[in-house]
Amino acid sequence: MGDLDELMRHLRAFVAERDWGQFHDPKNLAMLLASETGELVAEYRWMRGDESDARSRQPDVRARVAAEVGDVGLALLMLCDRIGLDPIAAMREKLRANAQKYPADEFRGRADRLR
């Protein structure tokens, strides 16, 4: 995959050039994330789950989903940058916690007990 550090530099420059840091406190960025996530969810709301893989490959759907994934990802990165959190480290840590919380032997093939 691409270079996250380079993207982060471009994202910071984009925000700085527009003097938008004043609007980007963590609370507002959490709301941005929620609204962008809502738009991504909208792409899948009327689609059956078992057709959502194939539909995600259709060029028009794919382009819209990619745009929404971009928005969600950028919002998450801006929040992480604002509060000085390394997103990769946060994900790695959470994955480790989940591996302990959901032992493979106990949760294999089961989603019903996930809370």
| 101 binds its own copies per the rule CB under 8 A | no
- For the chain, what percentages of helix, strand and coil (3-state, to nearest 5) are there? 75, 0, 25
28 interacts with its own copies by CB under 8 A = yes
Per CB under 8 A, 93 contacts its own copies: yes
Helix (H) or strand (E) holding 17: helix 4-17
Q: Of 59, 70, 100, 101, which lies in the binding site for its own copies, with binding defined by CB under 8 A?
A: 70
By CB under 8 A, the residues from 4 to 23 that bind its own copies are: 4-5, 7-8, 10-11, 14, 17-20, 22-23
